[in-house]
């Protein structure tokens, strides 16, 4: 069995700031991390590898050369191989162009049974790339997977998270599953894997390697573009009322009267 995991290196959103003049993200000096939901996707693939024989886990990512640092982390967790799709032609891609490139990369890997991906990335939050990749590969997709219930030859049964519960879905393989954080707790890298993969030679693939035309990649193939990014204005400072319940109630009613709310 071959499992492919889609992963992305993202800026740590706890450190991200927005330029108040340009309205763009300030990426300089911001640490990059493995997208959290993608870590859950990788962990589930590795758990299947632990439980079954003859399972190979490959990780694929689209990004700049420095994304190799994130892929090295994936190898340290236990992935077998990693592929980076890196080309200036891929720059400025929206979800549509990104899914085209990733799908082409997965086709190049070939012979996959399951594709795992995170529900969404913390820098885009669209939750669109996974389903779009499945569409371009013409395979079924189940989103918001919170548990892998059972695996059989050519079939996998999962729980799909809903707002008020979950539904159980049986899907044929090959398929794509997007994962939520409730699925598992990602493992740490192991010393053994870190040492074993420290000299790993990453295979970087550009648009020519993927048999893609430049017009089908990056900004030129992106029908959606971000017009502006901004931080919302901070709300006014709140007021804490003190005193007895009667005093606070009287004060609150007085505030409502002043604002003509009552």
- pLDDT tens digits, 84-126: 999 999 988 999 999 999 999 999 998 999 999 999 998 878 9
SS3 content of the chain, % helix, strand, coil (to 5): 35, 25, 40
Give me the residues of the chain with pLDDT under 70, please.
15-17, 19-27
pLDDT value at residue 67: 93
**Nearest to 5, CA basis, from 88, 92, 83:** 83
Q: Are 115 and 106 in contact (CB under 8 A)?
A: yes
């Amino acid at each position: 069995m071959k499992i492919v995991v889609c992963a992305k290196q993202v800026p740590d959103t706890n450190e991200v700031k927005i330029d108040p003049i340009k309205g763009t993200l300030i990426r300089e000096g911001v640490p990059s991390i493995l997208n959290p939901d993608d870590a859950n996707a990788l962990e589930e693939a590795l758990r299947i590898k632990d439980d079954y024989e003859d399972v190979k886990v490959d990780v694929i990512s689209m990004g700049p050369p420095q994304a190799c640092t994130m892929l090295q982390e994936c190898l340290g967790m236990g992935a077998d191989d990693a592929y980076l799709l890196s080309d200036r032609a891929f720059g400025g891609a929206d979800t549509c162009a990104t899914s085209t490139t990733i799908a082409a990369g997965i086709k190049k890997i070939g012979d996959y049974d399951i594709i795992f991906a995170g529900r969404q990335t913390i820098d885009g939050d669209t939750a669109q790339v996974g389903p779009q990749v499945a569409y371009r590969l013409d395979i079924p997709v189940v989103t918001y997977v919170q548990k892998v219930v059972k695996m059989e030859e050519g079939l996998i049964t999962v729980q799909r998270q809903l707002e008020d519960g979950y539904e159980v879905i049986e899907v044929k393989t090959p398929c794509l599953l997007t994962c939520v954080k409730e699925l598992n707790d990602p493992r740490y890298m192991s010393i053994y894997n870190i040492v074993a993969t420290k000299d790993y030679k990453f295979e970087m693939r550009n648009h020519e390697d993927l048999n893609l035309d430049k017009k089908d990649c990056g900004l030129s193939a992106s029908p959606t573009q971000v017009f502006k990014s901004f931080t919302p204005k901070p709300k006014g400072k709140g007021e804490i009322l003190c005193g007895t319940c009667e005093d606070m109630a009287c004060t609150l009613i007085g505030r409502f009267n002043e604002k003509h709310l009552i």
